[in-house]
A and B are shown apart, each in its own frame.
Chain A
Amino acid sequence: MKGTAPLLSVRLENEHDVVVARQRARRIAELLGFEEPDVVRIAAAVSEVARNAVSRSSGGTVEFRYASGVPHRLRVVVSDLARDGAVLRQQLDLGGAEVEGLIGCRRLMDHFVVEELDGGGVRVVFGKNLRVGHRALSPQALLKLTQELALPPSRNLVDELQRQNHDLLQALAETQRLQQDLAQLNRELQDTNRGVVALYAELDERADSLRKASEAKTRFLSNMTHEFRSPLNSILSLTRMLDERMDGELNVEQAKQVSFIRKAASDLSDLVNDLLDLARVEAGKVPVRLSQFSVADLLSTLRGTTRPLVSAQGEVALVFDEAPEGVVLRTDEGKLAQVLRNLISNAIKFTERGEVRVSCEAAADGQIAFHVSDTGVGIAAADHERIFEEFAQVEHPLQQKVKGTGLGLPLARRLTELLGGAIRVESEPGRGSEFTVQIPMDYAGPPDLVVAPEMPLRHAASPGSGSPYLLVVDDDEISRYLLRSSLEAMGFAVAEANGAEACFAALRRSRPAAVLLDVVMPGMSGLAVLETIRGTSALERLPVILHTAALLGDADRQFAAARGAKIVAKQFGERVAWESDLRRALQNAGLPVSIPA
């Protein structure tokens, strides 16, 4: 290939451009592969000619070209606008101080020509040959070379330093700005954080006050219920005694009146018991009493207890599907029965005609599902959740007719949850409802108490020994009366005290075999009396049974347990359970209990 390729062009206007031109010349020479002495020669030559052009004319250009041939060479063309070409040539021929540099340049280069241009101006063309055998530059290499040269030359060290300094300062300023931004952001984040913390504190406060309100409600409920329960139990027990003609015959009217009283008291008692159960579950004070029982047994018991709810001539049939054979549950039978009873009685209440069907099936994962479906009024989807709220009753004509406490379903749900299960409802108005209770077959939660099989009771004290005497301390006369009659039936002698003072007086007189102590009493509470008894050295080991209708808190229970006092719930209404509790407590205290005839 023969020809020339432009490499770079530098404008000449002042002496700074001379410096640029010679620096570029040096770089081009290096890139083309000239050796160091030639590089310096070329730079010096370009410097001389460029200076000459700048000093003689107002400006010009330096062009660098690559000429391929034999040999390849770098050609430099310096053009200016001066009109003294002829003079210059003459000077070069004659020699002189002004053209000393150009003459030297002619010596340095392989090729040197001064030309006058037609339109005015002088062109100095000179070149340096590359070493023979130097390989020609390919177009790609040339392109790369020109691209490299196109990059701005670093003018000199100081400029470069200044530029770098400037860059550095800018970078520093930028960093500072970023730092300020960061600080600002940090501040904002801190503010936000403070806000969030404050919000959390507020939420905590709210939650706390809600918890307190809920606790207060529960406490109120349990206290109120307790207050209702004691007199109710008394009424129930007394009417039962009357009804059973324990103290003489009643005439027909009296018997009817007593049975009405008993019925009313029993209804009220149900309501109060539901309330109390709810309060207990909410307070987390309901123990799960585990036992093993078969589903078939449970359902047959339920069938027996719920049959009276359906009127014989009514248009509602209560159907129990065949229970799966041999399925045994290990959970709290009483609570499960209570849940199902609630659902069944509810279903019957809201069904005017058709049937109420109870079925049961083992579900996956060791769960068992009970279904109570009816063909009753049904429940709108919007009310599916509301019916589980306390005292919530759905507006319906039938609702006016049936009486209910509004506590059945909430209690059923709470109890189901207590057993580790869930209750759900599917219903449509007019189509009936189906309630499903699903619980684990094997209760997994921590059992509070495993009921031991009923122990054979020991017989009364051996003949000859006087009956042990028990001290009953209660401010309520009816309670004392009911307790006394039961205890006497168990073969004990009973002394009564109507409060703390009377109790201490009786204790001073003689030491009983045990003390049955009411907790809620005017003046000194049963717990305080217990403390006083334990503080007396002679009575340290006296058996004390706390007999109370109040729900004791954990702290009170621990207080009692630490002082060796047993607790028996005062529930005259459930006489069998209550007497059995009482008997067990007395036996644990080491007292001989006789089975009443």
Chain B
Amino acid sequence: MDRIPILRMGECLLVTIQVDMHDQLALALQDDLTSAITKQRTRAVLIDISALVMVDSFIGRMLANISAMSKILDAETVVVGMQPAVAITLVELGLQLPGVRTALNVDQGMKLLRRALRAT
């Protein structure tokens, strides 16, 4: 079965979503990422969705879930690279993505994560 790859970069886990995910794939990513956080004892997760051309409520919820789970596992999550049209759609769909930190791009996202790590 297909998997979204999860890469470790320093203290950070990096997830780049390059394909249009079906629901099972999104759920698999959720599982993989939580177990990676516990196994590798990382405290920061960066999810790059710049290649996603559409986010519907299911994927939006999945992103929110990942953020929430990471938080419980004492890891900070930043979603970066959301396209404007995707953002508009998310808002119009009524998804607020509570607890999900976002940044414009990977650089900004990394800065945000570092700051958060220093703060604790």
Whether both chains belong to one complex is answered with yes
Q: Which residues of B contact A (CB under 8 A)?
A: 2, 18-24, 53-58, 83-86, 88-89, 92-95
Whether A101 contacts B2 by the Cβ 8 Å rule is no
- Asked if A18 contacts B22 (CB within 8 A), the reply is yes
> By the criterion CB–CB under 8 Å, are A107 and B92 in contact?
yes
| A589 at interface, CB cutoff 8 A | no
Which residues of chain A come closer than 8 Å to B2, judged between CB atoms?
A: 158
Q: Please, which residues of chain B bring their CB within 8 A of the CB of A44?
A: 54-57, 89, 93
Which of B18, B83, B94 sits near A100, CB closer than 8 Å?
B94
Across the A-B interface, the 7 shortest Cβ-Cβ residue pairs: A104-B93, A101-B57, A47-B56, A40-B85, A43-B54, A37-B85, A15-B23
For A100, list chain B residues within 8 Å (CB). Answer: 57, 94
Are A36 and B57 within 8 A (Cβ)?
no
The answer to whether A41 touches B92 (Cβ under 8 A) is yes
Binary per-residue interface labels of chain A (70-110) against chain B in the complex, 1 for a CB within 8 Å, 0 otherwise: 00000000000000000000000000000011011101100
The interface residues of chain B lying within 8 Å CB-to-CB of A16 are 22
CA distance in complex: A44, B87 (Å): 12
Select one of B58, B83, B93 contacting A108, CB under 8 A. Answer: B93
Given contacts A26-B54, A41-B89, A158-B2, contact A18 B94 (CB under 8 A): no
Provide the main secondary structure of the chain B interface.
loop
Chain A interface size range: 20 to 34
15 inter-chain pairs at a CB distance below 8 angstroms, sorted by A residue, are A15-B22, A15-B24, A16-B22, A22-B54, A22-B56, A37-B85, A40-B89, A41-B89, A41-B92, A47-B54, A48-B56, A101-B58, A107-B92, A157-B18, A158-B2
Extra inter-chain contacts (18) besides given A40-B54, A43-B54, CB under 8 Å = A15-B22, A15-B23, A22-B56, A36-B85, A41-B92, A44-B89, A47-B54, A47-B56, A48-B56, A48-B93, A51-B58, A100-B57, A101-B56, A104-B92, A104-B94, A107-B93, A108-B93, A158-B2
In the bound complex, residues from chain A placing their C-beta under 8 Å from that of B86 are 40
Report the bound CA distance from A382 to B18 in whole Å: 92
- B residues within 8 A CB of A103? 94
Task: State whether B56 touches A51 (Cβ < 8 A).
Answer: yes
Query: Which of chain A's residues have a CB closer than 8 A to the CB of B85?
Result: 36-37, 39-40
CB-based contact B93/A105 at 8 Å: yes
Closest to A107 in B: B92
A 1-39 binary contact with B (CB < 8 Å = 1; else 0): 000000000000001101100110010000000001101
- Flag whether A156 is at the interface (Cβ < 8 A): yes
How far does the alpha carbon of A40 sit from the alpha carbon of B58 in the complex, in Å?
15
- The reply to whether A101 and B93 contact each other, CB–CB distance below 8 Å, is yes
Contact with B along A112-126 (1 / 0, CB 8 A): 000000000000000
Whole-angstrom distance between the Cβ of A44 and the nearest chain B Cβ:
5
B residues in contact with A19, CB < 8 Å: 20-22
Name the CB-closest residue of A to B90. A44
